[in-house]
């Protein structure tokens, strides 16, 4: 198991990233993909769960027209950025594990690049299914075990030092595992497809520090300085373009809801 950051740690991290989060082409691309998969229609209500700056909600707004887009997130900084980006968005500061919404409150629900941050992903997804109408649609993403080339590089570089860095996406990072998770949450007619986004690495500055700070790098952080330096040298030796790979999962809530 990989260590999941606490809610307070996650909030602090994303508060700090709120001013430039939307600059990422990767974030923009996956938000657009999720919005299209949700297939919003005029007059519907969409909830962007753990939606941050509301990128997915904003991508859906033109199709919703006179409908409503709600962004729910634990980070007040991200929600302020969402409202600044588009005042039409409604925002709600909330823990995804405890949604203060009635059953069947929304037509559509999206949750993009957030599953790995939840202490209990299945519980959060069951909350998502609970608040979505039976004939609505839930769309969520999970990082593919074949993606995030920086993570793969770290694990390979650490192995040479007999250090084992866990893959934080192994549990849900295959199409079969993602589909099982969706069904356990109460979704049917589940579809899973892979989305890839490759972008050039403009600079290697800060990449090692970022990767070293992730939960999966804990064995490297605990290693002697000399071993840690060797891992860094191997990691940086072939640092090239970044390929982000997501599994985009969609489904329809069952009429009979799972336990909360």
Neighbours of 196 (CB within 10 A): 12
pLDDT digits (tens, 9 = 90+) for 70-90: 999 999 999 999 999 999 999
> In this structure, is residue 236 part of a structural domain?
no
Residue 147 has pLDDT above 70, yes or no: no
Q: In Å, how far are 48, 58, 128, 131 from 98, measured between CA atoms?
A: 15, 24, 10, 11
Q: Which residues pair with 47 in a beta bridge?
A: 70, 109
- pLDDT at position 168 is 66
Q: Identify the residue whose tokens are 């893959």.
A: 167
> In this structure, is residue 214 part of a structural domain?
no
Q: How many CA atoms lie within 13 A of 183 on its CB side?
A: 10
> In this structure, is residue 127 part of a structural domain?
yes
> In this structure, is residue 220 part of a structural domain?
no
pLDDT digits (tens, 9 = 90+) for 16-47: 999 999 998 989 999 999 999 999 999 999 99
CATH number, domain of 28, equals: 3.40.50.150
Sheet holding 68-73, edge to edge: 90-93, 68-73, 45-49, 106-111, 132-143, 242-253, 187-199
Tell me which residue range forms the domain holding 129.
Answer: 7-147+168-200+243-253
pLDDT digits (tens, 9 = 90+) for 92-141: 999 999 999 999 999 999 999 999 889 999 999 999 999 999 999 999 99
pTM (two decimals): 0.83
The number of distinct structural domains making up the chain is 1
Contact between residue 216 and residue 223 where contact means Cβ atoms under 8 Å apart: no
> In this structure, is residue 39 part of a structural domain?
yes
> In this structure, is residue 229 part of a structural domain?
no
Residue 65 has pLDDT above 50, yes or no: yes
- The C-alpha atoms of residue 36 and residue 198 are separated, in whole angstroms, by 20
């Amino acid at each position: 198991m990989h260590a999941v950051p606490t809610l307070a740690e996650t909030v602090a991290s994303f508060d700090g990233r709120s001013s430039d989060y939307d600059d990422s082409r990767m974030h923009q691309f996956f938000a657009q993909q999720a919005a299209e998969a949700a297939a919003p229609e005029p007059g519907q209500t969409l909830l962007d769960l753990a939606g941050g700056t509301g990128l997915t909600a904003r991508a859906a707004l033109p199709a919703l027209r006179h409908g409503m887009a709600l962004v729910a997130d634990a980070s007040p900084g991200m929600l302020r950025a969402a409202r600044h980006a588009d005042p039409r968005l409604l925002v709600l500061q909330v823990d995804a594990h405890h949604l203060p919404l009635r059953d069947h409150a929304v037509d559509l629900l999206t949750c993009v690049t957030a599953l790995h941050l939840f202490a209990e992903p299945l519980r959060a997804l069951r909350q998502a299914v609970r608040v979505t109408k039976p004939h609505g649609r839930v769309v969520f993403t999970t990082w593919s075990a074949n993606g995030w080339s920086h993570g793969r590089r770290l694990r390979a570089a650490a192995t040479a030092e007999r250090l084992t860095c866990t893959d934080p996406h192994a549990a849900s990072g295959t199409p079969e595992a993602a589909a099982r998770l969706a069904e356990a949450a109460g979704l049917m007619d589940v579809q899973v497809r892979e989305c890839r986004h490759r972008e050039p690495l403009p600079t290697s500055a800060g990449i090692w520090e970022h990767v070293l700070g992730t939960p999966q790098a804990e064995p490297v952080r605990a290693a002697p300085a000399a071993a840690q330096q060797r891992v860094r040298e191997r990691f940086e030796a072939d640092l090239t373009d970044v390929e982000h790979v997501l599994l985009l999962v969609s489904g329809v809530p069952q009429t009979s809801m799972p336990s909360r």
